[in-house]
Amino acid sequence: MAAASPDSDCGPAESSEANSKWLDAHYDPMANIHTFSSCLALADLHGDGEYKLVVGDLGPREQQPRLKVLKGPMVLTESPLPALPAAAVTFLMGQHEPRTPALALASGPCVYVYKNLRPYFKFSLPPLPANPLEQDLWNQSKEDRIDPPTLKEMLEGIREKAEVPLSVQSLRFLQLEPSEMEAFVSQHKSKVIKRQTVITTMATLKKNLADEGAVSCLVLGTESKEILVLDPEAFTVLTKMNLPSIPAFLDITGQFDVEFLLAAACRDGNIYVLSKDSKRPKYCIELSAQPVGLVRVHKILVVGSTQDSLHGFTHKGKKLWTVPMPAAILTMNLLEQRSRGLQAVMVGLSNGEVRVYRDKALLNIIRAPDAVTSLCFGRYGREDNTLVMTTKGGGLLIKILKRTAVFVEAGGDAGPPPAQSLKLSVPRKTRLYVDQTLRERESATAMHRTFQTDLYLLRLRTARAYVQALESSLSPVSATAREPLKLHAVVQGLGPTFKLTLHLQNTSAARPIVGLLVCFVYSEALYALPRAFFKLPLLVPGLLYPVETLVEGLSDKGVSDIIKVLVLREGQGAPLLSAHINMPVSEGLAST
C-alpha cells in the first residue's frame, strides 16, 4: 500500500487523504517506465476478465525501447522493440471467437500487431517514390563510375536543393567519416533506394458498428502529412487522406463504413477536421500555440496548448472556453466513468498535479510525487475506474476511484454571481405605462422639439436675469474695471444676537481703493444693527478685510428676513455690488 501522499485540504476540488476520491492501490517510484499517454493501453488481452496494461516503454537514455505488459503491479512480459514506440492501441480484429483484442504498436515505419501477446503481423508503411537523381547517383557508384567523395558532394547538392528529401541510406552515408565511406558504398550500392516515412500517431476507428466490442480499423498519422486507414483483418490501406501538416494527435468518432469525423492536431499549431469522403480538411481550428494534447469529451474537442491553457472547441472550430493552467501541460487523457455517465479530461501538469476538468469546471486535483508524463483511466485488473499514471522519473502510480466518489464542481468562483439569479420585483406594466410608451414611440419628434424649445427659453431667461443682475450690481462681485471687488458674508450665532461678518477683497492687481461705503438695508421691525451705514478703510489689493457687525433679532415670532448689503462709492447712487443675506431663524427665542 502506498504511503500517504502530501495532500492538503485547500479547496473543494482538492481533497485530503481521509476524504480523497481515490484509493492508493500501488506506487512504485522505481518501476522504470518512461512513456507517454499515447503509448499506454488497457485491455483484456487474454480474454480472462483480467485487464492488462500495455506500455510502449521509451526507456531511459541508453536502454532499448521495450514493450511491457503489466498484470496488477507486476510486469508480466517484456520484449525489446526495434525503434521508439509512437503509439500503442488495442482493437478487435475480427468477429470470430475468442473475442480477445489484438495489440498494435506503432514504431518507426511499422505497426507490430500482437495477438495473445504473440507477434501476429507486421505492417510497413508503403514506400514513397525516391528521388530519381539520387537513384541515378547510386546506380553510377554501383558501376564504379564515381568515387565516394564525389557521391557525397552530389548527394549534398541534392539535399540542399531538391524538393523530394533523401532516403535514409543516403542520409546515413552523409553522416559517415571519409574513412568509412568506401565500406558503406560497397555494402549498400547494390540496394534499391527506398524512402520511407515514419508513424507519428495512431488511433482506432470502429469499422461498421458503434458497439463496445465492434471491429476497429487502425488509423495512422505519418511524417509525410498523411492519414492512413487500415483494414482490421487484411491490413491493407483502405483510404488515404492528406493534411497540410504533420499530425501529432488524432481523435476519431463514428464508423468507417458509415460516417466519421477525424480531428488531427498538427505540428503547425492547427487542428484539421476531416470527415468521410473528404480528402482535404473540412474545418481548420487555428491555435495560437502548439498543441500538447487532444481529447474529445462528448462532442467537445479539448486541446491543451503550450501556452499553459486548455481550450474547448466544437468540431466546426467554434471556441467555447479557455481555462488557464498553473503550470505547463505534459499530458492529457480522457476520464470516463461509465457507471455515472461522466466524461472528463485529465491533465498532467509539470508541477506534479493531475487536474480533472469537466468542460471548464475543475472537478478534482491529484497531487503526484513527481511530474506525471502519462495518464490512462479505465478497467485494470478487475476494477473499473482505475487510474494508471507514470512519472518523469519512471515511477508507476495506480489509483482506484472509490465506489462512493462523486465528482462535484468546485463551484463558487466559476459560475455567475448569486445576485444575478435574484429575481427583481419589477412592477407590472400598467395601462398608463403602455399608453405612454406608445405615445413616446409615435410622437418622439414632436416631444423632442417641445423639449428643445423649453430648454432654449430657459437659457434665454437665465441669460436675461444674469444681465439684469450685472446691470443693477446685484451680484457680490463688482464687474466695473475701476473697483474690482469681491464680497462674501457669513452669519454666525444662534440668535437673537447674530454676528454678521463681511469679507471684502480688492481683486485688482495693484490699485488700492478708497472712499467706499457699506450700507445695510433691513426691516427695522425685525432687526436692529448698531450701525447701518459706515465708511470702509482703504482696501489694499489682495488682502481680505473682515468687517464685523452685530445683528439683534427683535421679533419673537420665529420669522426671519433678508438683510441687503450694499457697497457704494462716495458720491454715486448706484451700488457697486450687493449681497442678500438670508438671516437664520433665531433659536434663542425661548431664553429671551
Partner 1 sequence: MGLLDKLSCLLGLKKKEVHVLCLGLDNSGKTTIINKLKPANAQSQDIVPTIGFNIEKFRSSSLSFTVFDMSGQGRYRNLWEHYYKEGQAIIFVIDSSDRLRMVVAKEELETLLNHPDIKHRRIPILFFANKMDLRDAVTSVKVSQLLCLENIKDKPWHICASDAIKGEGLQEGVDWLQDQIQAVKT
Tell me the window of 248-256, 276-284, 400-408, 441-449 that interacts with partner 1 (CB under 8 A). Answer: 400-408
Q: Residue 275 phi/psi, 5° resolution?
A: -125, 175
Residue 550 cell numbers, joined: 452685530
Tell me the window of 20-28, 242-250, 424-432, 466-474 that interacts with partner 1 (CB under 8 A). Answer: 20-28
Number of residues that bind partner 1 (CB under 8 A): 21
Nearer to partner 1, 167 or 390 (CB): 390
Name the minimum Å distance from CB 334 to partner 1: 20
Q: Is 283 in the site for partner 1 (CB under 8 A)?
A: no
What is the maximal distance between C-alpha atoms in the chain?
Answer: 139
Nearer to partner 1, 175 or 339 (CB): 339
Q: Is 339 in the site for partner 1 (CB under 8 A)?
A: yes
Q: Is 25 in the site for partner 1 (CB under 8 A)?
A: yes
Nearer to partner 1, 232 or 378 (CB): 378
- Residues with Cβ within 8 Å of 168's Cβ and at least 6 positions away in sequence, in order, are 194, 195, 196
Residue 496 cell numbers, joined: 437673537
Residue 11 burial (CB count, 10 A): 12
Name the minimum Å distance from CB 32 to partner 1: 19
Residues 366 and 354 sit within 8 Å (Cβ to Cβ): yes
Nearer to partner 1, 384 or 561 (CB): 384
Q: What's the CA angle centered on 302, arms 295 and 205, to 5 degrees?
A: 30
Name the minimum Å distance from CB 25 to partner 1: 5
Name the minimum Å distance from CB 390 to partner 1: 16
Q: Is 28 in the site for partner 1 (CB under 8 A)?
A: no
User: Residue 337: how many CA atoms within 13 Å on its side-chain side?
Assistant: 20
Selected from 18, 30, 74, 432, the binder of partner 1 by CB under 8 A is 74
Q: Give CA–CA dist 587/493, Å, rounded.
A: 9
Task: Spell out the long-range contacts of 529-533 with Cβ–Cβ below 8 A and sequence spacing 24 or more.
Answer: none
Selected from 12, 73, 127, 352, the binder of partner 1 by CB under 8 A is 73
Tell me the window of 17-25, 116-124, 130-138, 157-165 that interacts with partner 1 (CB under 8 A). Answer: 17-25
Q: Is 384 in the site for partner 1 (CB under 8 A)?
A: yes
**x/- track of binding to partner 1 for residues 36-65 (CB under 8 A):** -------------x----------------
Residue 544 burial (CB count, 10 A): 11
- Residues with Cβ within 8 Å of 338's Cβ and at least 6 positions away in sequence, in order, are 384
Q: Is 30 in the site for partner 1 (CB under 8 A)?
A: no
Does residue 205 come out as left (phi exceeding 0), alpha (psi in the -120 to 50 range) or beta?
beta
Residue count (the chain): 592
Q: Is 72 in the site for partner 1 (CB under 8 A)?
A: yes
Q: Is 340 in the site for partner 1 (CB under 8 A)?
A: no
Residues 292 and 329 sit within 8 Å (Cβ to Cβ): yes
First to last CA, the chain: 96
Q: Is 368 in the site for partner 1 (CB under 8 A)?
A: no
Q: Is 402 in the site for partner 1 (CB under 8 A)?
A: yes
Q: Which residues bind partner 1 (CB under 8 A)?
A: 1, 23-26, 49, 72-74, 339, 380-384, 386, 398, 400, 402-404
